[in-house]
Amino acid sequence: MKPQVFALLLCASLPLAAHSQSLEDCRRIAEPADRLTCYDALTTTETPAPPATAAARSAEAAVTADLKEPEADSLLGTAWELDPDKRGHILRIRPYKPVYILPGFHTSRTNPFPASPSAGHTSTTDTEQASDEAKLQISLKTKLVEDLFGNNGDLWFGYTQSSRWQVYSAGTSRPFRETNHEPEVMLVWRTDYTLGGWRARYLSLGFNHQSNGRSLPLSRSWNRVIAGIALEKGDWTATFRPWWRISEAGERDDNPDISNYLGRADLQIVRIWGKQQFSLLLRHSLQGGSNNHGAIQLDYAFPLSGSLRGHLQWFSGYGESMIDYNHRANYYGVGVSLLEWY
């Protein structure tokens, strides 16, 4: 009897329940072609699986669709390089806060004589400030070191500069009325846990300096240690930052009461809606009585063309800028932005 015929008869005669013995017999056939014929015969004699129920097919289709659907990028994960596929970029320049120019920036109440309780810090000369000006802001950050502590802890450097330009005041040579400089270093610790239905993405601790770089009597500055926690939920992010001011001694303090106006904490909430972005900033002194001061800022950005967006801004309260830290007013801005929060 030919070996091929023997192999076919052997596989056909094996009971269906003895799959392990049938496979073993096929493996013992030395000739590759004959061994493949045995395997083919074995598979064709197996009892087909029963058809799946409609519910099972539906569940399988749903799982398959979920697996095929790409997971949306995390807003905070992308902004702060928290996710594994975003890691490894050292000294790459990234946007920090929004970058915009508001050619129309109007205040309801000017501050012609900026004042501070510190000696020699009150202006006796009218600043001749016009109600209408332009506001500009640039803000960038970069990662200096990654994974300082084992596999966590990133050190970032950020810089934000915002200017108020009296561009419509030809009689006073269109000066830059106020420019605020804000360098900072931040240690960002990656987290991933749920807090009240929100996903906590990172904790931070950093040193922040903010000043207007001016001489007396208009010099204003302070240094802070800022903690932070950032959370996200779908198209929402929320960042809460309490801070502690580093006190300056005596006459060196440009603004000893600044914490009672610019506050001791803020909360930033951002909502992404398609290609539009909404931002709410709440800031407060966390004090009562005569030290109960704060501010609210609303920003709205919408697409215009390409990366260019329209940008609307409303601010109400104390401290729209350093020189106005203890001055209360409403501000209304309209312009364009190149970069937003996300």
- Residues annotated as catalytic are 209, 211
CB 273 within 8 A of CB 306: no
Task: Report residue 268 CA to chain centroid gap.
Answer: 11
For residues 229 and 222, give the distance between their C-alpha atoms in angstroms, rounded to a whole number: 22
Helix axes 3-13, 32-44, angle to 10 degrees: 30
Quick one: which of 248, 305, 306 has its CA closest to 116?
248
Quick one: which of 337, 332, 334 has its CA closest to 275?
337
CB 25 within 8 A of CB 19: no
231 three-state secondary structure: strand
CB 111 within 8 A of CB 327: yes
Q: Is 336 exposed, middle or buried (0-12, 13-18, 19+ CB in 10 A)?
A: middle
Q: What is the phi/psi pair of residue 228, to 5°?
A: -165, 155
Q: What is the phi/psi pair of residue 170, to 5°?
A: -65, -30
Token pair listed for 219:
């010099």
